[in-house]
């Protein structure tokens, strides 16, 4: 659960009468400039020479999102970031801002997080100080780098940086893998200074304890929950445990105990797999993974005290093990008390694939709500399916997936299911984007839509592209009326106040047409769309 806030400037009432004179002349051209999502093609969100890869995104309070990616335009896979409004228009320039000018010739995983005030935190491997370290950077709502803090021991092996914010005290937390143990540090959100004198070290006995994911605590006591992959020796089973860390750096789910919670302990993850998780405020923590033998996907819920709710080893997404079910992803929704899971299914030793989904009650014991086999999204076919997302819709979920007919010929599809597992759209699935070379898809939820973003090689080198999928199954429709600055579905005095408050400035919220200044053209949107 993210807690995000946004402030406004003082109003100014200059030039109102003069602006009304030019409304008719500017409406068409300005409106066209403000709308990025179109039904005819996906929108390029990050471009340039060579490859733009591995997008990460989080929603902002205005219905838009912040996005980071790796940019190889000048070599070295630099870190870039941009902020977009709900209509998909860039707010930090056409190609965002440079976060880190790196020299790496390849990429590894990283993370990002929208913090309070629509600021944007990014955690990444960094070689600018010599060797390989971990850096945490915070960008302002206008795209300025407020601070960068670099950690990690010189000469150590570091990887898998994660970042999140505690919504209660505003502090930023970061974690990373250093050699065989995981590290956690707390940062002052204003200065980036490390709050704890030394990072908290997480290692389960003699086992290698690799951080997998980091989320804010699911209750008002604050702090974070760190999930880790645990393995003894090179060939040992790889299981998942979770540690609770308090705002003062105390490790333990209960007073006087540093013991972790067991997410699953029977079976093993595949090598190199670091499953995702999610905290749901007031409920607990949701985990999703697949085991290597058999290839089956599972879900687990820990309550706020770290007690497993779906049995000792979680709940399988189906009761059958005849198909290979790997690489699941999920979305959890506290208000509807649901977790929605999607995964590919493969007939063993064939090229026949299908796509299925399942749902569980967060406060349940692991009962499969969409039948023993789940709900079918794509019937068995010779298409190869990869890269999945799930987004809750407030009564069901929208699922997106990529299916390939041949190398470099991957199309993007979506389908929404109601909470009973039935199709929400009469068309069933919808085509979101046609065949091209696609990878690394991510998504976020708008109030009435899902926005999906991916790396796309349609023009040879890869660019970051995106598309909007309405909860009604429409593709490329813009989410709001022109002039609806606060994204509440009506254009009224509140939107007018936002524009007047930012008059004459470059305030990205009030600058509706994104020409760098809040002026009569922005006011024209409000007056033309007045409800």
Contact 333, 315 (CB under 8 A): no
Choose one of 212, 244, 273: the last residue of a domain.
273
pLDDT of residue 25: 35
Q: Is residue 146 reached through a cis peptide bond, with omega within 30 degrees of 0 on the bond before it? A: no
DSSP output for 332-371: EETTTTEEEEEEEEE-TTSS-EEEEEEEEETTSSS--TT-
- Mean pLDDT along residues 418-432: 94
Mean pLDDT of the chain: 88
pLDDT of residue 69: 98
- Mean pLDDT along residues 443-448: 88
pLDDT of residue 36: 78
Together in a domain, 121 and 249: yes
Whether 481 shows a pLDDT value over 80: the answer reads: no
- CATH number assigned to the domain comprising residue 261: 2.120.10.10
Whether 7 shows a pLDDT value over 50: the answer reads: no
Residue 412's pLDDT band (cuts 50, 70, 90): very high
- Mean pLDDT along residues 95-121: 96
- Mean pLDDT along residues 145-157: 94
Residue 24's pLDDT band (cuts 50, 70, 90): very low
Choose one of 273, 296, 315: the last residue of a domain.
273
386 or 527, higher pLDDT? 527
Whether 30 shows a pLDDT value over 80: the answer reads: no
Together in a domain, 141 and 234: yes
Query: 147 CB contacts (<8 Å, ≥6 apart)?
Result: 137, 138, 191, 192
Together in a domain, 133 and 261: yes
Structural domain boundaries, residue 20 = 1-35+482-531
Contact 267, 320 (CB under 8 A): no
In a domain, 500, yes or no: yes
Together in a domain, 139 and 269: yes
Together in a domain, 26 and 149: no
Mode of pairing for the β-strands spanning 438-445 and 449-459 = antiparallel
Together in a domain, 245 and 120: yes
Contact 245, 196 (CB under 8 A): no
CA angle 270, 362, 167 (to 5 degrees): 90
As a whole-number percent, the residues of the chain with pLDDT over 70 amount to: 91
- Mean pLDDT along residues 399-422: 91
Residue 285's pLDDT band (cuts 50, 70, 90): very high
In a domain, 504, yes or no: yes
Length reported for the chain:
531
- Mean pLDDT along residues 364-378: 96
Together in a domain, 129 and 21: no
Choose one of 242, 273, 304: the last residue of a domain.
273
Residue 507's pLDDT band (cuts 50, 70, 90): confident
- CATH number assigned to the domain comprising residue 8: 1.10.1330.10
Together in a domain, 132 and 241: yes
Together in a domain, 172 and 255: yes
pLDDT of residue 1: 38
Whether 230 shows a pLDDT value over 90: the answer reads: yes
Residue 447's pLDDT band (cuts 50, 70, 90): confident
Choice among 31-40, 224-233, 518-527 with the minimum mean pLDDT: 31-40
In a domain, 446, yes or no: no
Whether 345 shows a pLDDT value over 60: the answer reads: yes
In a domain, 488, yes or no: yes
pLDDT of residue 392: 87
In a domain, 243, yes or no: yes
Whether 317 shows a pLDDT value over 50: the answer reads: yes
Q: What is the pTM of this model?
A: 0.85
pLDDT of residue 381: 84
In a domain, 145, yes or no: yes
In a domain, 458, yes or no: no
pLDDT of residue 59: 93
Together in a domain, 133 and 222: yes
Together in a domain, 131 and 224: yes
Together in a domain, 120 and 26: no
* Total structural domains within the chain: 2
3 or 154, higher pLDDT? 154
Residue 31's pLDDT band (cuts 50, 70, 90): very low
In a domain, 127, yes or no: yes
Long-range contacts of 264-267 (CB under 8 A, 24+ apart): 264/239, 264/240, 264/289, 264/291, 264/298, 264/300, 264/312, 264/313, 264/314, 265/239, 265/312, 265/313, 266/312, 266/313, 267/237, 267/239, 267/291, 267/292, 267/293, 267/313
- Mean pLDDT along residues 377-398: 85
């Amino acid at each position: 659960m993210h807690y995000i806030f946004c402030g406004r400037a003082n109003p100014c009432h200059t030039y109102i009468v003069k602006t009304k004179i030019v409304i008719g002349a500017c409406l068409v051209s300005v409106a066209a400039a403000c709308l990025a999502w179109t039904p005819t093609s996906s929108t390029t969100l990050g471009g340039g020479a060579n490859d733009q890869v591995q997008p990460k995104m989080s929603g902002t309070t205005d219905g838009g999102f912040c996005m980071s990616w790796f940019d190889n335009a000048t070599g070295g896979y630099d870190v870039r970031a941009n902020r977009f409004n709900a209509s998909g228009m860039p707010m930090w320039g056409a190609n965002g801002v440079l976060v880190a000018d790196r020299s790496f010739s390849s990429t590894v995983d990283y993370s990002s997080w929208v913090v309070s005030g629509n600021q944007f935190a990014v955690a990444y491997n960094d070689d600018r100080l010599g060797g390989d370290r971990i850096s945490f950077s915070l960008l302002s709502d206008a795209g300025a780098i407020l601070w960068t803090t670099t950690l990690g021991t010189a000469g150590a092996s570091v990887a898998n940086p994660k970042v999140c914010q505690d919504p209660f005290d505003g502090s930023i937390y970061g974690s990373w893998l250093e050699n065989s143990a995981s590290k956690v540090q707390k940062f002052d959100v204003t200065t980036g200074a490390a709050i704890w004198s030394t990072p908290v070290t997480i290692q389960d006995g003699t086992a290698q304890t690799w951080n997998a994911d980091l989320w804010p605590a699911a209750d008002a006591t604050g702090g974070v929950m760190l999930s880790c992959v645990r393995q003894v020796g090179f060939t040992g089973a790889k299981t998942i445990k979770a540690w609770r860390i308090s705002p003062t750096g105390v490790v333990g789910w209960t007073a006087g105990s540093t013991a972790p919670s067991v997410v699953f302990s029977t079976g093993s993850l595949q090598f190199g797999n670091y499953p995702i998780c999610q905290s749901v405020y007031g409920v607990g923590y949701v985990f999703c993974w697949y085991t290597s033998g058999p290839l089956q996907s599972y879900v687990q819920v820990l309550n706020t005290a770290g007690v497993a709710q779906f049995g000792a080893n979680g709940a399988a997404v189906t009761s059958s093990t005849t198909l290979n079910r790997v690489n699941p992803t999920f979305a959890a929704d506290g208000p509807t008390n649901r977790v929605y899971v999607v995964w590919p299914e493969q007939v063993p030793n064939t090229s026949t694939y299908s796509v299925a989904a399942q749902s569980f009650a967060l406060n349940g014991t692991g009962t499969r709500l969409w039948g023993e086999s789940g709900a079918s999204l794509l019937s068995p076919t010779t298409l190869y399916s990869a890269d999945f997302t799930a987004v809750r819709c407030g009564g069901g979920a929208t699922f997106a997936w990529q299916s390939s007919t041949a190398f470099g010929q991957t199309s993007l599809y979506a389908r929404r299911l109601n909470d009973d597992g039935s199709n929400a759209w009469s068309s069933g699935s919808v085509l979101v984007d046609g065949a091209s070379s696609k990878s690394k898809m991510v998504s976020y939820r708008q109030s009435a839509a899902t926005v999906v973003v991916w790396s796309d090689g349609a023009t040879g080198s890869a660019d970051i592209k995106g598309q909007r999928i309405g909860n009604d199954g429409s593709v490329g429709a813009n989410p709001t009326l022109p002039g609806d600055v606060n994204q509440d579905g009506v254009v009224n005095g509140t939107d007018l106040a936002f524009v007047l408050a930012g008059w004459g400035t470059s305030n990205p919220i009030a600058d509706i047409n994104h020409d760098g200044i809040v002026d009569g053209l922005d006011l024209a949107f409000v007056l033309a769309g007045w409800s």
